Amino acid sequence: VPFHTWLPVAHPAAPSHISGIMSGVMIKTGIYGILRALSFLPVQPLWVCYVVLIIAVISACIGVLYAIGQHDIKRLLAYHSVENIGIIGIGIGVGMLGVFYENSSMAFLGFCGGLLHVFNHAVFKGLLFYGAGAVYQSTHTRQIEKLGGLIKAMPYTAWSFLLGSAAISGLPPLNGFISEFIIYLSMLKWLKAADPIMAVTLIFAIALLAFVGAMALLCFTKVFSVVFLGVRRSSSGALIKEAGRSMLVPMGILCLFMVVIGLAPQYAVRLVQRPAGELAGSLSYPDMMMWIGGLRSLSLFLAAGMGIGICLYFLRCLLLKNRVVSFAKTWDCGYQVPNSRMQYTASSYADAFLRLGKIFFRWEVKSKPPKGFFPKEASFESDWHDRVEWIVERISLSIQKILGRFQWIQSGHTRDYLLYGVIFLVIALVWIVLGY
């Protein structure tokens, strides 16, 4: 932020597997450039450290806020890429502050968490884009408001998307939790220091990072519930079927990566330990393995709880195998004929929260109020737009308008271009003759 506005436009235009590569690999080249620049500098100025940290926090917060207001599933995932680049930047900013203040543990943990989140984001965001691509291929729409009830027709895609949603929200025992916890730990390492300005800065960063995690959970609760749960909203009679094996296998592999990293984080940390140590100026951090062991124990404990729940579910299925099971409608609150229009939409689900941050959005409302005693039709539609994108568009149009006044220079005639060359040579000769 504010150089993010191209991404929500690019992702919907690209095929979903290309979006996975863009989000997982291509947008990380900027992070690579920042880290390479840091490797050339022995110590960064303090103001540079604060600039990186502040821009990263703003990017994470604004990215997740704009994601909540989206109706296009790929635009929503694009804004979450902005959010996660911000989280990576927070780790890098904290690492830079640790180097400046010669706090080796803070620097090492900050860079380690940021680098590990680069890999983790590539895994779960690739999975989410693949899931969005499977939904689009089957339904031919990316609009969240037109979807619903897909878990019945696409169970494997739905459960894979749910696992990716939990990972991107930083929930254990998955990989997103590991890297975000290491970033939290890097900031907590400095709160005992004597510098009050630094301590206050990190307290705000910790609070905002927690806010980002909570909002990511809200956003993906909205996406999964509206897209996969409930009943189908679209009136189209097109047959919806599960994605093919060639699409499900890559999603399964990424799910396996997320679980393995969450349950055995020590192996993932070893991948980034050396570059993090080189950036921090210390190749080892003695307490690191102790904290990783604690993370592993927590992940295994939660995984055991989930395993018990799965075993109970299969036990229930086994006990009910030879019994008659009857199904009835969910309690309908007095409505005798409930339909899909009575379900939450993506807009209504997040509307109460988005109104609190209205200053960051442009709220567009399209309505057709009922008229007469027996109105035949009425409608209401609301949409939340990126205010930064609107500002950038206005600036771009102004620049285009100014540069358009000089369009006459590109006449398309060869004689004019030869004249420009002659004029340049004359000016260069005069410059040389006059001794400049």
What are the tens digits of pLDDT across the range 178-236?
889 889 888 887 776 657 777 788 888 889 999 999 999 989 998 998 888 887 776 65
Kindly report the pTM of this predicted structure.
0.83
Question: Which residue has better confidence, 369 or 92?
Answer: 92
pLDDT tens per residue across span 327-360: 776 666 666 666 677 777 777 777 777 777 777 7
**What token pair was written down for 399?**
């620049």
Asked if residues 161 and 124 have their Cβ atoms less than 8 Å apart, the reply is no
Q: What backbone torsions phi and psi does residue 385 show, to the nearest 5 degrees?
A: -115, 155
For residue 358, give the DSSP letter. G
Q: What backbone torsions phi and psi does residue 384 show, to the nearest 5 degrees?
A: -110, 125
**Of 108-112, 136-140, 315-319, 432-436, the least confident:** 432-436
- Cα–Cα distance measured from residue 385 to residue 168, given in angstroms and rounded to the nearest whole number: 23
Asked if residues 106 and 114 have their Cβ atoms less than 8 Å apart, the reply is no
- Residue 416: the pLDDT is 85
Residue 37 has pLDDT above 60, yes or no: yes
Half-sphere exposure of 210 (CA within 13 A, CB side): 9
Question: Which of 214, 209, 219, 210 is closest to 57 using CA atoms?
Answer: 209
- Cα–Cα distance measured from residue 312 to residue 317, given in angstroms and rounded to the nearest whole number: 9
Asked if residues 157 and 124 have their Cβ atoms less than 8 Å apart, the reply is no
CA–centroid distance for 302 within its chain: 24
Residue 118 has pLDDT above 90, yes or no: yes
- Cα–Cα distance measured from residue 111 to residue 97, given in angstroms and rounded to the nearest whole number: 11
- Cα–Cα distance measured from residue 345 to residue 143, given in angstroms and rounded to the nearest whole number: 11
- Residue 251: the pLDDT is 93
Instruction: Give the residue-averaged pLDDT of 366-381.
Output: 80
Residue 317 has pLDDT above 80, yes or no: yes
**What token pair was written down for 354?**
């988005």
